[in-house]
């Protein structure tokens, strides 16, 4: 490693070490003095050492996020974190994201060179975190559809037994796990605080955006104005959602071979390139040393991505 890389690493370490020290003094100094004064009057406030360390770490991450320059994206990222079910504030998520990126950058700088480190930062920062959130969001929404069918059956049975709609919804909020249980509970709290049913259900749909829940909410709101047997309506909606889930599972089974082929076809060139590079390290040198090689790599990457997208679109069938 040359002196330029060492100098850059040293400057980065110095900057972030100074930042951590400043935030630590700002965060722990005044708060610790206030907490010590309160302990004199309220002995129950005294925390165990492990609890105090955990609270200090949480406060440190929170404060670090407040000083990061991404506050303009708070609303956008707040919605993403809610949809993914990540129990973090935006500044806390950004702070963790930044710390992980810095650690990876430093390790790669020590092991390889600055350009590989910069490329890895771009991948971690702009791609991996988005992929992680998209996967978490999709899994959470898929769970919500499965839980919704069971919840409607529970609510229908409860209403046949004499419960009101709100009592049946409260029962589901207590018994169902995340995401349906906590989201129903949040909706009930909003209604109890005076929010109208329409607004509360619209907010629920913003937190769990799926077509099945939208159909359920629309049917319930229409029934509130037109009247009718709500228990029968809930059972009908449950049967409809269960039917859609069965069709989705059948489609998923029929397209399993195509989805596996997508990954095999996509990963096969990369795997072969790695094996050839291990066997013959200089085999790919012309691709990186000649202008024609760079053009081939560029168009190869474009067609690689296009092929992956086309195959994924073919095997993705909306139900």
pLDDT band (50, 70, 90) for residue 9 = low
The backbone torsions φ and ψ at residue 209, rounded to the nearest 5 degrees and listed phi first, read -80, 100
Helix (H, G, I), strand (E, B) or coil at 193: coil
Q: Say which residue the tokens 């909306």 belong to.
A: 318
Domain ranges (residues) in the chain:
3-125, 139-253, 255-315
In this structure, of 14-18, 70-74, 259-263, 281-285, the range with the lowest mean pLDDT score is 70-74
Residue among 238, 233, 198, 205 nearest 219 (CA):
233
Residue among 243, 8, 239, 274 nearest 115 (CA):
8
60, 62, 74 from 19: Cα distances, Å: 11, 14, 22
Residues 156, 231: contact at Cβ < 8 Å?
yes
Helix (H, G, I), strand (E, B) or coil at 66: helix
What is the spatial distance between Cα 105 and Cα 120, in angstroms, rounded to a whole number?
Answer: 7
Total residue length of the chain = 319
pLDDT tens track for 223-243: 988 888 999 999 999 999 999
Average pLDDT over the chain, rounded to an integer: 80
CB proximity list for 101: less than 8 A, separation 6 or greater:
121, 124, 125
152 has a pLDDT exceeding 80? yes
Which CATH number, 1.20.120.1750, 3.40.50.12500, 1.20.81.30, 2.40.30.110, labels domain 139-253?
Answer: 1.20.81.30
pLDDT tens track for 244-290: 999 999 988 888 888 888 888 888 888 898 899 889 888 888 888 88
pLDDT tens track for 179-228: 999 999 999 999 999 999 999 999 999 999 989 999 999 999 999 888 88
The backbone torsions φ and ψ at residue 177, rounded to the nearest 5 degrees and listed phi first, read -75, -175
Q: Can you give the pTM of this predicted structure?
A: 0.69
């Amino acid at each position: 490693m040359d002196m330029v890389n060492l100098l850059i690493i040293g400057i980065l370490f110095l900057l972030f070490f100074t930042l951590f020290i400043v935030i630590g003094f700002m965060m722990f100094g005044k708060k610790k003095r206030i907490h010590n004064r309160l302990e004199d009057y309220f002995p129950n406030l005294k925390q165990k050492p492990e609890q105090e360390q955990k609270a200090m770490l949480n406060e440190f991450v929170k404060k670090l996020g407040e000083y990061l320059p991404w506050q303009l994206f708070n609303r956008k990222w707040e919605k993403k974190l809610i949809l993914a079910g990540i129990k973090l504030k935006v500044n806390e998520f950004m702070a963790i994201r930044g710390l992980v990126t810095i650690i990876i950058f430093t390790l790669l700088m020590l092991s390889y060179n600055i350009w590989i480190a910069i490329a890895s930062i771009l991948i971690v920062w702009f791609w991996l975190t988005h992929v992680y959130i998209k996967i978490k969001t999709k899994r959470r929404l898929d769970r919500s559809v499965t839980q919704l069918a069971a919840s409607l059956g529970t609510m229908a049975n409860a209403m046949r037994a004499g419960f009101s709609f709100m009592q049946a919804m409260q029962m589901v909020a207590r018994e169902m796990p995340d995401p349906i249980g906590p989201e129903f509970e949040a909706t009930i709290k909003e209604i109890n605080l005076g929010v109208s049913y329409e607004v509360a259900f619209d907010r629920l749909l913003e937190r769990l955006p799926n077509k099945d829940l939208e159909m359920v909410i629309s049917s319930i709101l229409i029934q509130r104005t037109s009247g009718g047997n709500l228990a029968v309506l809930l059972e009908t909606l449950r049967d409809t959602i269960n039917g859609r889930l069965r069709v989705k599972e059948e489609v998923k089974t029929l397209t399993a071979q195509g989805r596996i082929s997508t990954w095999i076809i996509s990963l096969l060139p990369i795997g072969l390139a790695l094996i050839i590079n291990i066997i013959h390290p200089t085999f790919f040198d012309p691709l990186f040393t000649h202008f024609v090689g760079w053009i081939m790599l560029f168009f190869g990457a474009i067609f690689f991505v296009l092929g992956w997208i086309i195959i994924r679109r073919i095997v993705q069938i909306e139900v």
